[in-house]
Each structure stands twice: as structure tokens, then as C-alpha cells.
Amino acid sequence: MATPRSRHAARLRADRRRAQARARWFAVAVVIGLLGAATLALTAFDGEGGASSAPSVPPLPVTSAPPELQVLATIGNLRVQSPVAQGGVTAVGFHGAADGALVLQPVGPQANEGLLARLWKRITGSSRHGLAWYQLESGTLRTLDIGAVAGTDVYSPVDGTVVAIRDHVVSGRVVGAEIELRPTSAPSLVVAIESVRADPALSIGANVAAGSSKLGTVANISRFERQALERYAANRGNNVSIRVYTSASLGVP
């Protein structure tokens, strides 16, 4: 039969065990916290974090060199390539659209991704290769902006056929053109390229090849409308804007 003294001793031993367990868990939590803080510090200042403002010296316009193969976004089996030579790209951004454009899947890492998401990828070892891009607003990603200095040559982002060339109007002014292409790999879709001064030789019905057929040059749209890409790109965020639609939504036969 247990005496009061033995029961008291048993309670003391149990209390000590609980205290030791709490101390061990606290020590583990401190170690995890320190490791997490160190990882956050590393990811906050490494190359994945990206710049928060435009570079001080803008790159020179690329006036003739065609772009190398660089896929920036996909939608189904359609791959949208960079229409600007890599040396002329000031930044790449994605944002929404309110006109029925389809959702794009970016290729490459998000430069302004949240710290927790970057920490999780660092811990799990997952990574994405390709050109880094910025999310310019919350929501679904339906518009691709490729920053480039006004006057830079713009090439076709897909293999296909020109189905429309129309004025691009900003604040009541005609600022370049909108060029619509029917991609060979997805003929039920239409790729619309905006903020381009169309090449005079370009015509409806012309066949174009990704990265080698010149469409025109980057228009200086920032003179009339502030660009979302301005925070990350030189030359006030001037850019070529790309969206993808179904043929039916644009009335294209």
C-alpha cells in the first residue's frame, strides 16, 4: 500500500519528467526557428528575390537581332516564346485581364514570390528553371508583359498566320497596333500582341515563324499610360503585351 510520502515522491518524479519534456520541445522549437530565420534571410537577399525597382541604367534597344528560343508561358500545347531578344528584355510580368483572355501558365521562377513560399521550396528542394517573372497584381494570370525599350524589334512569339492588324488606342490616341495570330499548334486559339508599331511589310494572311518573323517594334506606350511593369523595368515599363483567346471569343473565323 502506497504511503502519502511515496505518492508525493511519484508526483515529483512525474513533474520533473514533464518539465524535461517541455524543455526538450522548447529547445527543438528554438533550433527550428533559428534555421527558419537564417533561411529566410538567405532567400530574401539571394538572386531569386528579384529587384523591387527599375535598374538605374536601361539596356540599349535591340534593333535587329532575333530572339533565341525562350518559352515564357504555355497554355495547353501552345508555347509562347519571347518576342524580344534576350539582351533587350528589361523584365517579364504577368497580370489579369477582364476581356475573356485565357489563363497562362508562366515558365520560370516567380521573382517576387512570398518569403514563405520561397522558404518552402528551399526546404523541399524544388525549383523552376527559366526566365524569372513578376506577378504584377493578384488574381489569375491572363496577360504576359515583356518589357523592352521603345523601338526594340518585336518578333512573332508563335508559328502561325496573321489574322488581324488593328489600331491600339490608348486614351483616345492610336499607339501602335494589335496584331492577332492564329498559332499553327493550336488553330482554335488566337494570340494577340499589343503595343507594337507594326512593320509596314506585315499583312493579313502572312505566315510567321516564332523568333524569326519580325512583327514591328515596341511602341512608346508609357507616354500615354502608366505601365504596371514600370516598378521592375527600365524605360518606364514599356513592353509588348500578349494575351491568348479562343477564336470564337474574338469572332475570328
pTM score over 0.75: no
Regarding whether 204 and 79 lie in a shared domain, the answer is yes
Q: Summarize pLDDT for 120-129 with one digit per residue, the tens.
A: 555 555 556 7
Regarding whether 107 and 18 lie in a shared domain, the answer is no
Q: Summarize pLDDT for 239-253 with one digit per residue, the tens.
A: 999 999 998 877 677
Rounded to an integer, the average pLDDT of 46-50 is 40
Query: Given a cut of 80, is residue 61 above it in pLDDT?
Result: no
Regarding whether 34 and 90 lie in a shared domain, the answer is no
Residue 92: give its domain's CATH number. Answer: 2.70.70.10
Regarding whether 32 and 80 lie in a shared domain, the answer is no
**Reported confidence tier of residue 82, pLDDT bands at 50, 70, 90:** very high
Q: 209, 223, 220, 226: which is closest to 83 by C-alpha? A: 209
Structural domain span for residue 106? 71-112+130-250
Q: 207, 170, 49: which is closest to 115 by C-alpha? A: 49
3-state secondary structure of 16: helix
Average pLDDT, rounded, for the chain: 81
Rounded to an integer, the average pLDDT of 86-92 is 91
Regarding whether 77 and 193 lie in a shared domain, the answer is yes
Lowest-pLDDT range of 7-21, 152-166, 213-227: 7-21
3-state secondary structure of 182: strand
Q: 92, 204, 216: which is closest to 148 by C-alpha? A: 92
Query: Given a cut of 90, is residue 12 above it in pLDDT?
Result: no
Regarding whether 224 and 141 lie in a shared domain, the answer is yes
Tell me, yes or no, whether 50 lies in a domain: no
Regarding whether 14 and 76 lie in a shared domain, the answer is no
Interatomic CA distance for residues 74 and 80, integer angstroms: 6
**Reported confidence tier of residue 93, pLDDT bands at 50, 70, 90:** very high
Query: Count of domains in the chain?
Result: 2
230 neighbors 222 (Cβ within 8 angstroms): yes
Regarding whether 136 and 101 lie in a shared domain, the answer is yes
Regarding whether 18 and 95 lie in a shared domain, the answer is no
Residue 197 pairs with which residues in a beta bridge? 217
Question: What is the full DSSP assignment across 109-164?
Answer: -BTT--HHHHHHHHHHT----S--BEE-SSS---EEEEEE-TT-EEE-SSSEEEEE
Regarding whether 76 and 30 lie in a shared domain, the answer is no
- The alpha carbon of residue 60 and the mean position of all alpha carbons in its chain are separated, in whole angstroms, by 22
Query: Given a cut of 50, is residue 229 above it in pLDDT?
Result: yes
